[in-house]
């Protein structure tokens, strides 16, 4: 029964005939029109007629980015999830309000937006490539096997099943060895700088990550078998307890997405099993637990600078220093958290600090010069 579920997810059924979340065939269940960015979230931030800046959906309004899902998902399983998240996000202190929420629900919720964007993007031909012999989709076919990892997680949730991740060499002792199939970071946002919008969304389909900022809540999630938390949490832990300015949140997300570009290829491969006692899919990452798959030899400073630039609206050429140094706005020259200068006093103090440098058109864009990699 549930091995069948795994192969059904991998088969990527046509979204015009099957619910992209639970896989049920439309007709047996009614189809409903779903806003990929939830309608309550659009209302909350007045996004309806605003246009997306995501590479795959440039120029589309938020309210037009929709997909059919089945009535059961919309009104029950995922509908209840939306209600839970909406109540907390709209409470005025979203960061505090999600603290008692199971992290899996946050990961599934953010993952649902990313998964539905991918399925929608994959279903439409890319107009920029319409004259090629085999025109590809907006989300190209060769990315879909990796993206399906996220589809597996959404399907398991839709069907009241679980999903866990493990490593190649793990013995079958679930309680100890199985962990969540994602790396989720929940951070508090510094909302004092009113020049920045209260909402932002970024994704990276190659590394299967998404970042969403709403009010004082920031979520960054990589659907990676939990390997980022396992091997890279120590790099970022001191930042996660701080209030991050929107630009800093953008840099943190970019750095987490970037990390996944240096992975050993076996860490991108996965084997799925059905675990009956756990009632869950187990996704086995094809590297051993003892092996750190984030490889120093794959580092590419230009790529890192490019990704940070995109995430922070800064010029990548200015982020990358000659001599292999990368600017950061997250840490001071000693590696401690650097509070982003917002008030006049803070900007003045930053101006006097010889370790900080002005970048970008906004006065408050101060970054400390540090070699962080």
Identified binder of Zn ion from the candidate list 19, 41, 118, 166, rule CB under 5 A? 19
CB crowding 337-364: b at 16 or more within 10 Å, else e = bbbbbbeeeebeebeeeeebeebbeeeb
User: Is there a contact between 284 and 168 (Cβ–Cβ < 8 Å)?
Assistant: yes
- Distance, CA of 177 to chain centre: 24
Q: Is residue 22 a contact residue for Zn ion (CB under 5 A)?
A: yes
Identified binder of Zn ion from the candidate list 5, 12, 21, 36, rule CB under 5 A? 21
Given the rule CB under 5 A, which of 12-20, 49-57, 85-93, 185-193 is the region that contacts Zn ion?
Answer: 12-20
Angle at the Cα of 104 (from 152 to 227), degrees rounded to 5? Answer: 70
Contacts of 167 (CB under 8 A, 6+ apart): 177, 284, 285, 287, 288, 289
Size of the site for Zn ion (CB under 5 A): 5
Q: Is residue 81 a contact residue for Zn ion (CB under 5 A)?
A: no
Reduced to 3 states, what is the DSSP secondary structure of residue 202? Answer: strand
Q: Is residue 208 a contact residue for Zn ion (CB under 5 A)?
A: no
Q: Is residue 319 a contact residue for Zn ion (CB under 5 A)?
A: no
Given the rule CB under 5 A, which of 73-81, 89-97, 281-289, 301-309 is the region that contacts Zn ion?
Answer: 73-81
Residue 166 is classified by DSSP as E
Residue 71 Cβ vs Zn ion, minimum distance, rounded to whole Å? 8
User: Is there a contact between 125 and 135 (Cβ–Cβ < 8 Å)?
Assistant: yes
User: Is there a contact between 319 and 308 (Cβ–Cβ < 8 Å)?
Assistant: yes
Name which of 22 and 81 has its Cβ closer to Zn ion.
Answer: 22
Q: Is residue 326 a contact residue for Zn ion (CB under 5 A)?
A: no
Given the rule CB under 5 A, which of 19-27, 214-222, 289-297, 333-341 is the region that contacts Zn ion?
Answer: 19-27
Pairing verdict, β 217-222 and 183-189: antiparallel
User: Is there a contact between 267 and 293 (Cβ–Cβ < 8 Å)?
Assistant: yes
Residue 33 Cβ vs Zn ion, minimum distance, rounded to whole Å? 13
Identified binder of Zn ion from the candidate list 36, 65, 70, 341, rule CB under 5 A? 70
Residue 16 Cβ vs Zn ion, minimum distance, rounded to whole Å? 14
Name which of 19 and 330 has its Cβ closer to Zn ion.
Answer: 19
User: Is there a contact between 341 and 364 (Cβ–Cβ < 8 Å)?
Assistant: yes
Q: Is residue 116 a contact residue for Zn ion (CB under 5 A)?
A: no
- How far is it, in rounded angstroms, from Cα 114 to Cα 147? 9
Q: Which helix (H) or strand (E) holds 351?
A: helix 344-352
Name which of 73 and 219 has its Cβ closer to Zn ion.
Answer: 73
- How far is it, in rounded angstroms, from Cα 186 to Cα 179? 17
Binding track over 227-266 against Zn ion, x by CB under 5 A: ----------------------------------------
Q: Is residue 67 a contact residue for Zn ion (CB under 5 A)?
A: no
Q: Is residue 94 a contact residue for Zn ion (CB under 5 A)?
A: no
* Binding positions for Zn ion, rule: CB under 5 A: 19, 21-22, 70, 73
């Amino acid at each position: 029964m549930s091995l069948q579920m795994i192969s059904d997810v991998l088969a990527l059924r046509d979204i015009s005939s099957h619910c992209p979340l639970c896989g049920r065939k439309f007709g047996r269940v009614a189809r409903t029109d779903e806003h990929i960015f939830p309608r309550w979230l659009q209302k909350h931030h007045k996004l309806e007629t605003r246009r997306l800046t995501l590479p795959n959906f440039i120029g589309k309004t938020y309210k037009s980015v929709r997909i059919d899902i089945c009535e059961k998902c919309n009104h029950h399983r995922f509908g209840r999830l939306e209600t839970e998240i909406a109540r907390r996000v709209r409470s005025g202190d979203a960061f505090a309000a999600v603290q008692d929420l199971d992290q899996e629900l946050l990961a599934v919720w953010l993952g649902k937006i990313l998964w539905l964007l991918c399925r929608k993007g994959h279903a439409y031909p890319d107009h920029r490539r319409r004259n090629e012999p085999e025109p590809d989709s907006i989300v190209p076919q060769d990315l879909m096997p990796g993206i399906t990892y996220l589809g597996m997680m959404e399907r398991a949730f839709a069907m009241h099943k679980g999903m866990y991740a493990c490593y190649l060499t793990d013995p079958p002792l679930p309680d100890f060895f199985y962990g969540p199939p994602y790396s989720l970071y929940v951070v508090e946002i510094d909302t004092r700088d009113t020049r920045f919008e209260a909402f932002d969304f970024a994704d990276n389909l190659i590394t299967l990550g998404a970042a969403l900022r709403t009010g004082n809540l920031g979520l960054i999630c990589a659907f990676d078998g939990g390997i980022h938390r396992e091997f890279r949490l120590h790099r970022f832990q001191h930042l996660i307890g701080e209030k991050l300015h929107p630009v800093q949140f953008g840099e943190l997300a970019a750095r987490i997405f970037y990390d996944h570009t240096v992975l050993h290829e076996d860490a991108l491969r996965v084997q799925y099993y059905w675990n009956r006692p756990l009632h869950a899919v187990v996704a086995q990452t094809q590297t051993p637990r003892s092996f750190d798959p984030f490889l120093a030899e794959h580092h590419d400073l230009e790529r890192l600078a490019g990704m940070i630039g995109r995430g922070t609206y800064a010029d990548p050429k200015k982020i990358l220093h000659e001599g292999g140094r990368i600017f950061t706005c997250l840490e001071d020259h000693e590696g401690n958290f650097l509070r982003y200068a917002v008030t006049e006093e803070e900007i003045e103090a930053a101006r006097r600090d010889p370790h900080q440098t002005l970048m970008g058109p906004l006065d408050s864009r101060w970054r400390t010069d540090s070699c962080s990699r």
